[in-house]
Amino acid sequence: MAYACRNKGWDVTVCDRDDDALTRMKNDIYPSRYGEWDESIKLSRNTSEIQAEYFDVVIIGTPPESHVSLALKELKYFNSDVWNRHQIWKVVKNYLNCLNKREFL
């Protein structure tokens, strides 16, 4: 996803609690797929460091069990004009319905 977003000209920040995962992405995974690391991609282990930043798009690339909790945590930081409580719970309800039916996009 980072590569696709960079190809759109977007700024990209990748956050992971695991330093080894970030190092593996930078030194192994990304270069093996795309030739070399893109130095404009920001890596962060500290979630509180990036919570003050505004993001137009947040992509959560974790196992399905943690998607909802991470999405709700991130939505707290969105502009309230963009998301209201009704919209958030509609998204969560639809996601939970998909989980129950095992329908993943």
Rg of the chain, C-alpha, whole Å: 15
SS (H, E, C) 38-71: CCCCEEECCHHHHCCCCCCCCCCCCCHHHHHHHH
Split the chain (105 residues) into runs of 10 and give each run's mean pLDDT: 90 89 95 96 82 74 74 65 54 67 53
pLDDT score of 53: 74
- For the chain, the helix, strand and coil percentages under 3-state DSSP, each to the nearest 5: 50, 5, 40
